[in-house]
Amino acid sequence: MASSQSVWGLDLGRCALKAVKLRSAADGKVDILAVEYIEHEEILSQPDADRNALITVALEKFLSRHDITKDQVVVSVPGQHTLARFTKLPPVAPKRVPDIVRYEADQQIPFDLDEVIWDYQTFQQEGMPDLEVGIFAMKRELIREHLLHFEQASIEPLVVQCSPLAVYNAANFDGMFGNNTTILLDIGADNTDLIIATPDSLWTRTVQIGGNSFTEAIVKAFKLSFAKAESLKRTAADSKYARQVFQAMRPVFADLVQELQRSIGFYSSTHRDAEINRVVGLGNAFRLPGLQKYLQQNLGIDVVRPDAFQNGSSAQLADQDTYREQFSSFAAAYGLALQGLDLTKVNSNLLPREIAKQAVWRKKKPAFAATAACLALAGGLVWFRQLTDLSALAAGNDAAQVVSDVDDAANVIDSGPSGAGSPRARAKTIVAAGNLLKKELGRLSGQGDTERADTEQFIMLQHNKTLLPRVLEVVHRSVPAQEPAFASLKDPEAIRAAIAAGATPRPKRKTVVITAIDTHFEPNLSQNDFTSFVEVPPPLNDYDIDSGTDVPGIMIKIKCTSSNEGTIEFLAKEFLDPLRENGRKPGTGFYFDQVVLISGEKIGSSRGSAKPRGRRGSAPKPQGGVDPITFEPLANDWRYEIWVSVILEDFPGVDEEETGDDVGDDG
């Protein structure tokens, strides 16, 4: 792209439209020619906000202030709507990389490839043979819905890039992390884009915590409207209620730190040589007083907040005040414009191919019109000669040679038509032979698809055949150990004799007996109702359930009994907690996400002691009887049902310890 070309980066966020206009400079840097920050009257994610109308108003304001007809435009799509997967490729020749990546995309993307727009980027550390690839995808209907706003405003983007990658490009070009492993934390209105970056690679995750999370905490604490709570949050540092405001937001601070620790733990488990020593804070929500200090204290990592782009000159920028005041929110727009100037590390593009073709066609229409006029003139000059040639051809012998089978067709292609004939007849024979071979190729290409699919399914089953036994082994390993008095006894009579001799009374025994285990694969674990009368810990997986992303895995339903008089408290301590601990070990290829007590009741009670909320039907009818081994009555025993969701990924390594609480203290 020529150095005189200007490029706009447009970042359409939930809170505002951010735009940066760049032009290449002679010294390898860029000139910042213009910036724009147009805040929406309402945050787009608010329940009563007219999202389409607010976006239309913002784009109209932008176009009324800037003429972009001679500029290129690069736009972003939200990180929470995109899927990012990173994997290492086997050593292959460069020309085979696209085929390997497509195979990996088919495995990594949980949708049919026809339903998504996807692209990839390769990363390779200098002097190292390992090649890592990042695969980025977005549902086709979501990206078309997002681009419809720009189409209605007559804005034709050159590139569509997801926000986290644009932030990485901006930081990489501007030298924000040098040669170190750095966390880029771009806190938006609804979500936080977390990028762990080096000059040669990146890893990204979207955390469902943003500026609105702090606002909603204030709404709940003070019973205010969202607009008033947002105003109170922005002026918290100067408010006489500052201490109460920060106290209300404390849980959100803690949640954000926990998510960061979880992500750092997962990244460190897969990049053992990495040493994260810096956090770069971006996004307007990062301006919240006390947040920078709180993160630094609880993460033990240096946290910085840049105030200018070091490789971008703003000398030609007219609106310096907006640039300084809103700088934290311009990183993504800056990175988008850099990609339009071909100055970035990551160059993937999620612009649908059909839209790109339409844009190219419209730009070439004037040239096509001039070409068509020249062709019409040239055609008139040779028209009479064409008529003469057609008459001559029509007068000749144009009968083609009969091509009856594949062998005949192959001979015609290899040796040419046999016998004499006009050039046109020989050409017809060759075309007929080619069509016959093409038809045969189509017939043969369609064979074997069923066998190939069956083979791939068999390979997958062989690959995962040991998974379920390992999962069940974790369940059985978590069952409380047998009572010492009974551990060596195998004969029922010996057990009854031990009881008669004064062994541990039945209500005191730390025994859990599994009576049934049901396991089945669940395409979307989030559809299960985990409602329980026992507090449910938050799930560990980072899927956005509201976005429509499925969470595949294994569902385990355990039925068990226990005679211990501690009832639910005993079961939670002696069985549920070990289930969580044993099911969350790194390197197993799976981990227990939710471990939930769904129901519990006394076997001898006609009423039952607890019923699960939100489940239809009544509790099972009580059962009496005696223990078939010990002949003891079962009336005081308890029966339970436990649900366990198993995520088919390595455990991310969550740190659930409490962190510091110096929120809002800048002193």
State yes or no: pLDDT of 269 exceeds 80.
Answer: yes
Confidence of residue 545 (pLDDT cuts 50, 70, 90): very low
pLDDT at 611: 43
**What's the token pair of residue 44?**
């787009």
State yes or no: pLDDT of 534 exceeds 60.
Answer: no
Average pLDDT over residues 4-12: 91
Sequence-separated contacts (24+) of 460-469 with Cβ below 8 Å: 467/589, 467/590, 467/648, 468/519, 468/554
- Of the ranges 7-11, 365-369, 620-624, the best mean pLDDT one: 7-11
State yes or no: pLDDT of 92 exceeds 50.
Answer: yes
**What's the token pair of residue 594?**
């939710």
pTM value is 0.57
Average pLDDT over residues 268-280: 87
Whole-angstrom CA distances from 290 to 104, 162, 182, 189, 210 are 43, 29, 21, 18, 15
SS3 state of residue 33: strand
616 phi and psi, to 5 degrees? -80, 160
What is the rounded distance in angstroms from the CA atom of residue 611 to the CA atom of residue 598?
9
CB atoms within 10 A of CB 95: 7
pLDDT at 370: 64
State yes or no: pLDDT of 550 exceeds 80.
Answer: no
pLDDT at 460: 58
| Inter-residue contact 210 to 190 (CB < 8 Å) | yes
pLDDT at 660: 45
Which DSSP state fits 626?
Answer: B
Q: Which stretch of DSSP H or E encloses residue 164? A: helix 163-173
| Inter-residue contact 319 to 107 (CB < 8 Å) | no
Confidence of residue 355 (pLDDT cuts 50, 70, 90): confident
State yes or no: pLDDT of 387 exceeds 50.
Answer: yes
SS3 state of residue 352: coil
Contacts of 529 (CB under 8 A, 6+ apart): 614, 615
In one letter, which amino acid is 181?
T
Confidence of residue 537 (pLDDT cuts 50, 70, 90): low
| Inter-residue contact 655 to 262 (CB < 8 Å) | yes
Summarised one tens digit per residue, pLDDT across range 129-139 is 778 899 999 99
More confident: 175 or 9: 9
Summarised one tens digit per residue, pLDDT across range 152-165 is 999 999 999 999 99
Summarised one tens digit per residue, pLDDT across range 562-590 is 999 998 899 999 999 999 999 999 888 89
What is the rounded distance in angstroms from the CA atom of residue 264 to the CA atom of residue 276?
8
Average pLDDT over residues 85-110: 87
State yes or no: pLDDT of 618 exceeds 50.
Answer: no
More confident: 236 or 143: 143
Average pLDDT over residues 28-46: 90
Percentage, residues of the chain above pLDDT 90 = 34
State yes or no: pLDDT of 595 exceeds 70.
Answer: yes
Which DSSP state fits 483?
Answer: P
List, in order of start, the domains of the chain with CATH numbers.
1-175+311-351 (3.30.420.380), 177-305 (3.30.420.40), 367-445 (no CATH), 465-647 (no CATH)
pLDDT at 12: 93
State yes or no: pLDDT of 634 exceeds 80.
Answer: yes
- What's the mean pLDDT when you consider all of the chain? 82
What is the rounded distance in angstroms from the CA atom of residue 289 to the CA atom of residue 244?
14
pLDDT at 499: 86
Phi-psi region of 653 (alpha: psi -120 to 50; beta: other; left: phi over 0): left
